[in-house]
Amino acid sequence: MFGALDTSASGLVAQRVRMETIAANMANTNSVFDAEGRVNPYRRRIAIFGEGDPATGKADGVHVREILLDQSPLRKVWEPGHPADIDGDGYVEMPNIDNTTETINALEAARAYEANVTAAQATKQMIQAGLKLLA
């Protein structure tokens, strides 16, 4: 019975990390400079899930296996005079982030998080009912 709670908890953690990744993408929609001030457009990050828990070796649940950089092409935006205009043609390479896609992904992650909360609550109610039967 507690394995079901562990499975729901792993889903909650995984969806939280996914949501943090999506939030970072949305926050960096216009970031063309890195921390050192060099022109280096931010690349969209994608949370990749894996099955089980590598820390315990259990096959139940889910975890974030890795966070990958999206290798799709960067957006080219015409902004003459922008400090990141390297080629002199007025085009700036912007992050490969589409806020509509990120918003949909955020809604999906929120719904999955809610589903894990509901599953955990149902498991808790079943445990309570089982304890009442034993008492």
Per-residue pLDDT of the chain (135 residues; tens, 9 = 90+): 568 888 999 999 999 999 999 999 999 999 999 999 999 999 999 999 999 888 777 888 999 999 999 999 999 999 888 888 777 788 999 999 999 999 999 999 999 999 999 999 999 999 999 999 987
Question: From CA 31, how far away is CA 44, in angstroms rounded?
Answer: 11
Note the pTM of the prediction, 2 decimals.
0.88
Q: What is the pLDDT of residue 81?
A: 84
Q: Are 11 and 52 in contact (CB under 8 A)?
A: no
Q: What is the pLDDT of residue 59?
A: 82
Q: What is the pLDDT of residue 12?
A: 95
Phi, psi angles (nearest 5°) of residue 98: -110, 115
Q: What is the pLDDT of residue 2?
A: 66
